[in-house]
Amino acid sequence: MSNDRYLSILNQIKKHGGKIDGGEPNDKILVIDGLNTFIRVFSVIPTLNDDGIHIGGIVGFLKSVGYAIKMLRPTRCIIVFDGKGGSTRRRKVYSEYKNKRKTKIRLNRANEYSSVEDEHQSMLLQLQRGVEYLENLPLTLLSIDNIEADDTIAYITEQVLPKNKIVIMSTDKDFLQLVDERVSVWSPTKKKIYTPKEVYDDFGVNSKNLILARIIDGDKSDNIPGIKGYGMKTILKKIHILSENDIVSYETFIKFLDDNELDLDKDVLLRNYYLMQLHEVDISSSAKLKIQNRVNESIPTLVKFKFQKMFLEDKLYTALPNLNSWLATTFNRLNQMAEKTHG
């Protein structure tokens, strides 16, 4: 795709990117990257129930969500999943996008599954069952066909709830570009909340400039190649405006490269910017409306009986004892807030 075509698309995004005046300023919203969270815990918790059935993904998912809620004490929790089909618009731009991405299989599971296919099937079944559990908790679940969770979360954060304090829970570095005084990112693996200071301390650039550094570096996890010979250290040394200035526009960034005779492939940079930036998400008006409507709906309340019934059917009690206490200490506050949305 040519530079002119990329710029035309980006200009269209800017033209139609009006904000929605939603949310209460005093609310603190926890927005969870659902699939990112599930895959992370599935990979490290190989738990079996009394019948020898794998439940580690389900239990780990519930515990991870519960831990974040207890620690961060939000007034609302929204869990977002990739829509069916993933990001069609990114694959149209770059057909190899996420093409080599695979779920990491733990070596310590070699004796637990007869094949990689069996483990993958178990992962899908546990994810589906985990979502069924979440549907009975005071949480908002959201998934839009052909749209990645990244884009949905970014749209919620910047457009649907522009007044709220928001904490995004994910290990995906793409979300760090959204960090400012209102938006932070909780990384469960690093056990760190990223504010503008933490982003600068870890990466050496302002959070709003991180996207410009990353389009040079690329993103191996999404199979997006960067510029050969440019790691983060080289980027910070040669493109010092990213660390010296608060906010650098894409145009200023390109001008700096030209003025300093840094011969970086502009087609690759613009392609990567389009693939990786989240400030101006390219999603349809109908998809935006679906997101707005879902976020503005009454929040579901706790369906304790159904949750308990599933819990007993799946024999989760060995891995998650004291269920009633866990539900009460984790979800009572959110349930009270959810009840208020029902008038």
Mean pLDDT of 133-145: 97
Fold of 21-199+283-330: Rossmann fold (3.40.50)
Q: What is the pLDDT of residue 24?
A: 56
Q: What is the pLDDT of residue 4?
A: 54
Write the pLDDT tens digit of every residue in 270-298: 999 999 999 988 899 999 999 999 999 99
Return the structure tokens found at 138: 């005071």
Which of 13-27, 198-212, 244-258, 299-313 shows the lowest mean pLDDT across its residues?
13-27
Q: What is the pLDDT of residue 230?
A: 92
Q: What DSSP letter does each residue of 148-201 carry, written as one string?
A: -HHHHHHHIIIIISTTSEEEEE-S-GGGGGG-SSSEEEEETTTTEEE-HHHHHH
- Quickly state the pLDDT bin for 116 (edges 50, 70, 90): confident
- Quickly state the pLDDT bin for 26 (edges 50, 70, 90): low
pLDDT at 321 over 70: yes
Write the pLDDT tens digit of every residue in 193-214: 999 999 999 999 999 999 999 9
Q: What are phi and psi of 336, to 5 degrees?
A: -65, -40
Q: What is the DSSP letter of 222?
A: G
Residue pair 142/242 in contact by the 8 Å Cβ criterion: no
The CA-atom distances, in angstroms, between 16 and each of 10, 159, 285 are: 10, 11, 9
Q: What is the pLDDT of residue 252?
A: 95
- Quickly state the pLDDT bin for 225 (edges 50, 70, 90): confident
Q: What is the pLDDT of residue 14?
A: 47
Which of 88-102, 125-139, 149-163, 300-314 shows the lowest mean pLDDT across its residues?
88-102
- Quickly state the pLDDT bin for 19 (edges 50, 70, 90): very low
Mean pLDDT of 120-133: 95
Nearest to 82 by CA among 39, 146, 12: 146
Q: What is the pLDDT of residue 40?
A: 93
Can you give the residue ranges of every domain in the chain?
Answer: 21-199+283-330
Q: What is the pLDDT of residue 119?
A: 87
The CA-atom distances, in angstroms, between 274 and each of 9, 115, 213 are: 9, 38, 14
pLDDT at 89 over 80: no
Q: What is the pLDDT of residue 11?
A: 54
Q: What is the pLDDT of residue 108?
A: 47
Q: How many residues are listed for the chain in this entry? A: 343
Residue pair 152/13 in contact by the 8 Å Cβ criterion: no
pLDDT at 250 over 80: yes
Nearest to 248 by CA among 211, 207, 209: 209
Q: Which residue has the higher pLDDT, 17 or 166?
A: 166
- Quickly state the pLDDT bin for 15 (edges 50, 70, 90): very low
Q: What is the pLDDT of residue 55?
A: 94
Q: What proportion of the chain, given as a percentage, has pLDDT over 90?
A: 71
pLDDT at 318 over 70: yes
Please provide the average confidence, as pLDDT, over all residues in the chain: 88
- Quickly state the pLDDT bin for 35 (edges 50, 70, 90): very high
Q: What proportion of the chain, given as a percentage, has pLDDT over 70?
A: 87
Side by side, the strands of the sheet bearing 192-194 are 140-143, 76-81, 28-33, 165-169, 183-187, 192-194
d(CA 118, CA 74): 37
Q: What are phi and psi of 206, to 5 degrees?
A: -60, 145
Q: For residue 79, what is the enclosing H or E element? A: strand 76-81
pLDDT at 110 over 70: no
Residue pair 186/193 in contact by the 8 Å Cβ criterion: yes
